[in-house]
Structure 1
Amino acid sequence: MGEQYGGDHQDFRDGEFNGPFIAKQVEYHQHGPGPTALDALPPKVGGFTGRSDQLGELLGAFDPAGGEAPGAVLVAAVSGLGGIGKTALAVEAAHKACDKGWFPGGVLFVNLHGYDDDRVTAEQALETLLRGLGTPPEHIPNGVDARAALYRSVLAARERDLGAVLVLADNASSAEQVRPLHPGGVRHRLLATSRSKLPQLGARLLPLGELSPKEAYDLLDRALRIAAPGDARVVDEGEAAAELGLLCGHLPLALQIAAALLVLDRDKPVAELVVELAESGDRLLHLDDGERSVRAAFDLSYRRLPAEQARLLRLLALAPGPEVTAEVVAVLDGADAAPVRVLDALCRAHLVERGSRRGRWRLHDLVRVFGVGVVEGDVGLWEEGEAARERVLEFYYRWADAADDRLRWLPGRPVPERFGDRAEALAWLDSERAGLVAAVQWAREERYAATAVLLSQRLGEYLDWRRFFDDKITVCGAAREVAHRAGNRVDEAIAWNSLGIALQETGRAGEAIDAHTRARDLHQAVEDHHGEAGAWGNLGSALWEAGRAMEAIDAHMRARDLFQAVGDRHAEARAWDNLGLALRQAGRAEEAIDAHTQARDLYQAVGDRHGEARGWNNLGGALWEAGRREEAVEACEKALEGLREFEDWYGAGRTLSNLALAHQHAARPAEARTAYLQSADAYTRANAPTEAAQARTRAEALTP
């Protein structure tokens, strides 16, 4: 072939040509290395804190030592709610991996804008990555498949020449966006972030949850100190900072915005911001610093939801309690069964989370606030939501009423239909307790007041049984307030009575006396003699708790007489039992024995085996006071049989403590220690930690 000697001429003197030919001028250009974007990793997020476990898992996935192993992790996907800190974690992990020298070939970064209106397609993302690898635009083919093939080829060459590359694909909305970006080979790694879990990628899935309270505290403190190293407001106001973290749902974006608001106003105490958020009708209105907004972050996810998913998310935001069962989801939805497919889709999008156990669902606190805001902003959605809440409240009342019937059932009465036995009723109440208590608070809204008050009355027996007295105070307080406002003296009296029982059990005997006095007066005013009798009995118990034995005796005798007059033998048995306790307190042991014997016999007559067991226990105490020790032990042993049968662990704990005391007096320390330990276990099962600790202390004192 010829050789160019200069100018624009070609020299063909040594060429051999066997046919016609055409010569054209050709230009040759010397190019430098193509521009690349292999150092385009965004800077670390200032103030990044926590996530040590997740960071360790990502670095384990990046580690080149596992690259040749079977099942090596080539793709990892970090997913979570908008604002949960996915990008911050991914970038932090990428920087640490690069610092270790694991990706000498460089790092590629592409933002897929998966939740924007103009999200990046896989074809567009591949063009960006190929340009980042130095591929001239004119050499980039059209079509996803062709670009993906070239992309993998270029990466393979780079692996041979320089080493492994990390590809970080941020903010994906679907596996379709990410799958073509797989770099191929065994040394490269692909890390994707998304608000969806992307199980279709065959990737190591790393779902992110909210920060721990300690991590939230550290984030706030670090953010303030970055702006001003001497800013110690978080440390100085530790309790307020913890409350601020809670109000922000321990969500990194919300915490960062809260920190920015404090940075902007260095004179603002943390507690002042807490008050603003707590008292605001719309917390998300405050969680906006002009550039970042929690509501805007959630809205991006919400607007991409299909109609059925958006509707269910809104309804779940209106549910009572921190989490709901599948049953309640179905009621909210107005369907026969929970829409599991829709729930699973919302879970994949991290807008709904699985609850404390299978078949339960929850929303992040701020997602709930967002959902309520969406409903309140639209008249049609608001009415849909009110109808759903009405369905839930009616459902709760029907089932709580049936469960209460089962708990109060005695042989000879019609057998309740909804629950097969007492244990089944208790299990349902246990599973729905938080929702039931929250639903009673709807009583303050006129539309729900009547049903919510009825619901409160059906929870009293259960809350007493499980010793959830704080819940009972909450429930009765709401019912009393509503009944008083409506002028319903009967319902108000019932609420005062129930409230008094809870106050007494929590050691507030003075308040309990006042509550039962109010209940008694209200029942008297409407000439409700049965209700009045119950109020006298409860007043007597509160007086007994306060050590006012003579007044207690008088109150219990009034209760006994009224129950006799209205023919309620079951309630009369309870009055005799309580009277016996007051008589014992007054030092009248023989009279107490008679009273407890009357109570035991009446309980037997009406078929209340659990009441009978309580009667045996109290009779045992009176016999002990009278010096009849062997009879007392026999009575306690009979009581224990019945209390265990009904899983009355608090009563069993008390009886076992009595037995332990009897063994002590009889110089049987080993038996006494065993009984105290059994008592501690029973009290623990009864949600009575103070009594359990006392029983263990007494057992330890008897240790040889």
Structure 2
Amino acid sequence: MLATSRDRLTSHGWRRVPIDHLPGDRAVRVLVEALRVGDPDDDRVSETEGLARVARACAGLPLALRVCAAVLAAAPDMTADELADTLEASATRVLRLGDGSRSLHAVFEQSRARLAPDTAELLALLGLAPGPDISTAAAAVLAGVTEPEVLERLRALSVAHLVSGREGRWRMHDLTAGYAASLCGGDEAPERFVRARRRLFDHYASTADDARLNIVALSGQRTPDTFADRAAATRWMDAERAVLIDTVHVARELGETRTETDLPLYLNTYLKWRRDFGDLEDLQWIAVRASQRGGDEEREALSWDHLGAVLRATRRFEEAMDAHVCALRLYTELEDQHGEAVSRSGLGAALNGERRFEEAIDVLRGSQAMFARLGDVLREANACNHLGEALREVGRYAESVEAHQRARGFYHQLGEVHREAKVWVNLGAVLAREGRFTEAMEAYERARTMFQGLGDTLEVVRTETGTATCLRGLHRTDEALAALDAVVGFLVEERDPHHEGLARYELGLTWAARGDAVRAIPHLERAVELLAENNDPYLRDRAAEALVSARDSPDPVG
């Protein structure tokens, strides 16, 4: 005997055979066969792409596919693309589709009717949850019960095939989620649902703040005991990343100003570290606008500064300057000297990016002095480091080394190993600019060792580009070429196009220095493209000049 059920059959003697969602090609085949049964001459069976879109909207669920086939059969003038457009607009539209005798909505209603009341309530509450999944802990907060209590209900939903769970996280299929969301009342949600969503948003914000404090904590600094250490906080952020980002977007749609402004702040350092600049920029813009809407000038200024830092990271320095100037204006009006110093430091870094070094030096010296007066050693170190970069670019090498050494000393004192390693990279760049290649290599080696100790492989590899520059300066071209080949390969895999452009530029220069223009030219051509695409016009022009020289080489080796 074969029996089918949405519930899991557990009685003795039953052998369970789970039927999963149909893959794309099989789902399309179901639609095609159903259309042919209704009309052997139905030419919509050839609308392959449209039928594939319908199948995706149905998530491979056999009943949904049958219902959609019936809808097409009842409307011979409707194309598969037209139906797909309707379905893709909203999961709830799939739920409402029917052929007069059956609908997905009715199936879900029957499943819900068999649930215990508290489990049925949890199903509705899960329709409020942002993101692709939810942890057991967050589900408990949402339901306002203990974790053991919510776990029992989640397992009951799993038995009914309404959720699936793995490693403490639970997710619903898009169609199930659409049904669950339809139970919450939309804009007219009952007060208990509003309170539940508020609890969940507050939980995400407070836990993200605790995680942030663990991640940014200086050596020996006390942190919230929510997480055992920085690694545990980072693991939580990794697991909740998509949920937290979606929470901000949902909060924006709902006008939840507190969540709109708080969560981007708490996610700032983590998302920068993960190099998720696209999401981070979106979140900071949301925070800026929410702060403006709420009249919170202090939070608006902070959000402008964070936005400026993201724009600097993506090499959009002119926009970054505008953001930092907005922050500076607000902090000045608020008579917040510390905030003003932070904005000046960011502005100086953006001026560096725009190669307006003399202006940057003036701004950064002022910022450094303000931090020194206020006793903020960490941010004074940041300003010193930016200052050292500006001084290097105007040829004031001794002052540059002094500024970097001051920053390095502060970072070492604070236990800021990653930042200290970055300063060693900058010191290597100054020494290499002076032609002190052996000393520069020693600085790069210190940085590389520190990055290795932190497990930051990307920075280890980036540092090798500087080392290779020194090897070329010491006429050790074979070693330089081997190092740069490895660097380029790694950066291609990591999708780090700007640093790939820098490495290819160095690789092209090294082949040219060896007299092999044929091998230099492809790397220089690619470097020009990458540096142009990643907003580095200065080095793009240098690479273009090197490319012209290589092409004009009288006797290239090939």
TM-score by length of 1: 0.63
Q: Distance in 2 between matches of 1:521 and 1:659?
A: 41
Contact 2:364–2:383 under 8 Å retained in 1: yes
State whether residues 268 and 280 of structure 2, in contact with CA within 8 Å, keep that contact through their aligned partners in structure 1.
yes
Question: Deviation per CA, 1:279-313, whole angstroms, max 9, x where unpaired?
Answer: 55943465345454221221121111122321222
| CA deviation map 1:222-246 (0-9, x unaligned) | 76788665448855xx5x8766555
The corresponding residue for 2:543 is none
Trace 1:317-466 onto structure 2 (pairs within 5 A). Answer: 317-338=127-148, 339-355=150-166, 358-376=167-185, 382-411=190-219, 413-444=221-252, 448-466=256-274
Q: Counterpart of 1:193 in 2: which secondary structure?
A: coil
Assess if the C-alpha contact under 8 Å between 1:674 and 1:699 holds in 2. no
Work out the CA distance in 1 between the residues paired with 2:207 and 2:274. Answer: 18
| Alpha-carbon displacement from aligned partner over 1:340-378 (angstroms, at most 9, x marks no partner) | 3332232222111124xx221111111111111112179
Kept in 2: contact 1:659–1:672 (CA 8 A): no
SS at match of 2:17: strand
Correspondence 1:468 to 2:468: no
Call closer, same or farther: CA 1:649–1:221 in 2, change over 3 Å. Answer: farther
In 1, Cα distance between equivalents of 2:76 and 2:7 = 38
CA distance in 2, matches of 1:674, 1:645: 20
Q: Closer, same or farther in 2 for the Cα pair 1:280/1:417, shift >3 Å?
A: closer
Alignment of 1:59-208 (within 5 A): 190-200=1-11, 202=13, 205-208=16-19
- Does the aligned pair in 1 maintain the 2:127–2:182 contact within 8 Å? no
For 1:668 and 1:525, how far apart are their aligned partners in 2? 56
Larger radius of gyration: 1
1:378–1:578: structure 2 CA closer, same or farther, 3 Å change rule?
closer
Give the CA deviation at 1:516.
3.2
Counterpart code for 1:531: G
Alpha-carbon distance in 1 for matches of 2:179, 2:130: 15
Counterpart CA distance in 1 for 2:74 and 2:331 is 58
Rounded Cα–Cα distance in structure 2 between residues aligned with 1:681 and 1:342? 47
The C-alpha deviation readout for 1:513-569, integer Å capped at 9, x for no partner, is: 443333333333333332233233333434444555555445544533443343322
1:481 counterpart letter in structure 2: R
Q: What is the deviation of 1:443?
A: 3.0
Q: Give runs of aligned pairs for residues 545-694 of structure 1, distance below 5 A.
A: 545-586=353-394, 588-666=396-474, 667=476, 669=478, 673=482, 677=486, 688=495, 690=497
In structure 1, the residue corresponding to 2:4 is in which secondary structure?
A: strand
Aligned to 1:155: none
* Structure 1 residue 322 displacement after superposition: 0.6
> Could you say what secondary structure the match of 1:194 adopts?
coil
Q: Residue type of the partner of 1:653?
A: V
Q: Secondary structure at the match of 2:3?
A: strand
CA-to-aligned-CA distance 1:422-466 (integer Å, 9 cap, x gap): 212211211221222222234336674214422221111111111
Report the more deviating stretch, 275-284 or 559-568: 275-284
Work out the CA distance in 2 between the residues paired with 1:530 and 1:268.
64
Separation of aligned partners in 1, 2:35 and 2:397: 68
Change (3 A) 1:327 1:669: farther
How many residue pairs end up in the alignment? 506
Residues in 2 aligned to 1:263 and 1:669: alpha-carbon distance in whole angstroms: 70
Gap change, CA 1:550 and 1:366, over 3 Å in 2:
farther
Distance of aligned partners of 1:592 and 1:680 in 2 relative to their CA distance in 1, 3 Å threshold: farther
Which amino acid in 1 is paired with 2:378? H
> Matches of 1:272 and 1:579 in 2, distance apart?
59
Contact 1:315 1:385 in 2 (8 A): yes
CA separation of 1:314 and 1:513: change in aligned 2, threshold 3 A: same
SS at match of 1:205: coil
- Give, as a single letter, the amino acid of the residue that structure 2 aligns with 1:533: A
Q: Residue 118 of structure 2 is aligned with which of 282, 290, 308? A: 308
In structure 2, the CA distance between the partners of 1:378 and 1:502, relative to structure 1 (3 Å rule), is closer
Instruction: Tell me the distance in 2 between the aligned counterparts of 1:623 and 1:553.
Output: 20
Deviations 1:650-670 (A, max 9, x none): 433321332244345542635
Contact (CA 8 Å) 1:233, 1:269: kept in 2 or not? no
Deviation of the 1:587 alpha carbon? 5.2
Q: 2:524 maps to which residue? A: none
Task: Return the letter of the residue paired with 2:295.
Answer: G
Does the 8 Å contact 1:677/1:695 carry over to 2?
A: no
- Change beyond 3 A, Cα 1:541–1:623: same
Separation in 1, partners of 2:52, 2:355: 41
> What whole-Å deviation, never above 9, does each CA across 1:480-507 have from its counterpart, x for those lacking one?
2321211222222222332333344345
**CA offset digits 1:44-91 (Å, max 9, x no partner):** xxxxxxxxxxxxxxxxxxxxxxxxxxxxxxxxxxxxxxxxxxxxxxxx
Please tell me whether residue 541 in structure 1 is matched to residue 349 in structure 2.
yes
Aligned equivalents of 2:218 and 2:492: distance in 1? 26
Q: Which residue of 1 aligns with 2:325?
A: 517
1:371 maps to amino acid: A
Corresponding residue of 2:308? 500
Structure with more helix by fraction: 2
Question: Counterparts of 1:583 and 1:268 in 2: how far apart (Å)?
Answer: 68
Question: 1:298 aligned to 108, 111, 114, which one?
Answer: 108
- Please tell me the residue identity of whatever aligns with 1:593: V
- Structure 1 residue matching 2:16: 3-state secondary structure: strand
Output the CA distance in 2 between the equivalents of 1:696 and 1:215. Answer: 47
Amino acid at match of 1:310: A
Structure 1 residue aligned with 2:338: 530
1:601 and 1:333, CA in 2 relative to 1: closer, same or farther beyond 3 A? same
**Offset of residue 475 of structure 1:** 2.3
CA contact (8 A) 1:596 1:618 kept: yes
CA distance in 2 between partners of 1:468 and 1:406 (Å):
20
Matches within 5 A, 1:207-286: 207-213=18-24, 215-216=26-27, 229-231=42-44, 234-235=47-48, 238=49, 245-258=55-68, 261=71, 276-277=86-87, 279=89, 282-284=92-94
**SS at the partner of 2:162?**
coil
Q: Against the structure 1 CA distance between its residues 689 and 225, is the aligned structure 2 distance closer, same or farther, given a 3 Å change threshold?
A: farther
Task: Summarize the Cα distance change of 1:191–1:418 in structure 2 as closer, same or farther, 3 Å threshold.
Answer: same
Q: Which sits farther off after the overlay, 590-599 or 402-411?
A: 590-599
- What SS does the aligned partner of 1:318 have? coil
Instruction: Deviation per CA, 1:248-307: give whole Å up to 9, x if none.
Output: 434344345456556666766766655555555943465345454221221121111122
Q: Distance in 2 between matches of 1:517 and 1:251?
A: 53
Letter in 1 for 2:323: A
Say which is worse superposed, 599-608 or 202-211, in terms of deviation. 202-211
Tell me, yes or no, if the aligned pair for 2:127 and 2:183 is still in contact at 8 Å.
Answer: no
Name the aligned partner's letter for residue 7 of structure 2: S
Change in 2 beyond 3 A, CA 1:665/1:368 = same
CA contact (8 A) 1:516 1:535 kept: yes
Q: 1:482 to 1:278 in 2, by over 3 A?
A: farther
**Structure 2 length as normaliser, TM-score?**
0.78
2:298 to 479, 490, 495: 490
Q: State the superposition RMSD in angstroms.
A: 3.8
Distance in 1, Cα, partners of 2:78 & 2:312: 42
Secondary structure of 1:354's counterpart equals strand
Bigger RCO of structures 1 and 2 (CA < 8 A, at least 6 apart) = 1
Question: In structure 2, how many angstroms separate the alpha carbons of the residues matched to 1:628 and 1:393?
Answer: 55
